[in-house]
Amino acid sequence: MAKPIMAKATAVWLVDNTTLTFKQVADFCGLHELEVQGIADGDVAAGVKGFDPIANNQLTAEEIGAAEKDPTHKLNLKYNAAAVGEEKRRGPRYTPLSKRQDRPASILWLVKFHPELSDGQIGKLVGTTKPTIQAIRERTHWNIGNITPIDPVALGLCKQSELDAAVQKAASKKVTEGPVMSDDERRKLVSTEQSLGMPADPKIPTAISGLETFTLSGNDDEEDEDGRHKPVDADSFFNLPDDDGDDDED
């Protein structure tokens, strides 16, 4: 359902000038019912001037009258042909002039700490263009030497929920499109359920099984009564036979 412009100011006007229920006003303005009740009590939107929806072509007096007579009636926003398609407009988000100088720092932070994000995702998060992002990626930006990476959430350029959603989407796309990475990259991109189901990485053994029974005296096939290899006689290493099989005589 389409919402009116200046929703909270419109709610203030409806509370002050009509007998509509809090739920009717909340549903029309996209607010919570308790928030509308707070407006009526003066605890919410203090100092906000009411915005007349009739004078601003958002509601008709007949529509308000019908809603006042029937508490279950939902207010319908007046059709405005000029507003059709406005909600589908795409492009970089608007960034206030006071924060535009902070965008390069936030781009550098995203490129450094979240390389899985695409240029399009970064552009939507901080409201910038792909050429600017590419220049910072390639370190060809005119001011790259003076740019310090700063979290865009801390700068107020985007919300933490928006950043988390973009990172999660990029990570999921990387996992599905390419082979699963190992070690650090795998832990970053693969979910807990997937990582638990993966086989363990091969490791270099720390000991060789059976080394303690290995012999060098040529009696590997000799076994004792218990079926174990006979231990090596240390003296045998010093009494090695000659090549012709005969012992040397002094």
What's the 3-state SS for 169-213? Answer: HHHHHHHHHCCCCCHHHHHHHCCHHHHHCCCCCCCCCCCCCCHHH
> How far is the C-alpha of 113 from the C-alpha of 154, rounded, in Å?
15
What number of other Cβ atoms are within 10 A of residue 37's Cβ?
16
- Where do the domains of the chain lie? 7-83, 91-198
Over residues 147-188, the pLDDT tens digits come to: 999 999 888 888 888 888 898 888 888 777 655 555 555 445
26, 32 in Cβ contact below 8 A?
yes
Cα 21 to its chain centre, rounded Å, is: 40
Which ranges in the chain belong to alpha helices (H)? 7-17, 22-29, 33-41, 61-69, 103-113, 119-126, 130-137, 152-155, 160-177, 183-189, 192-196
Over residues 62-97, the pLDDT tens digits come to: 999 999 999 999 988 887 655 555 444 455 566 666
Over residues 116-133, the pLDDT tens digits come to: 899 999 988 988 889 999
> How far is the C-alpha of 227 from the C-alpha of 2, rounded, in Å?
86
> How far is the C-alpha of 39 from the C-alpha of 9, rounded, in Å?
10
> How far is the C-alpha of 92 from the C-alpha of 69, rounded, in Å?
44
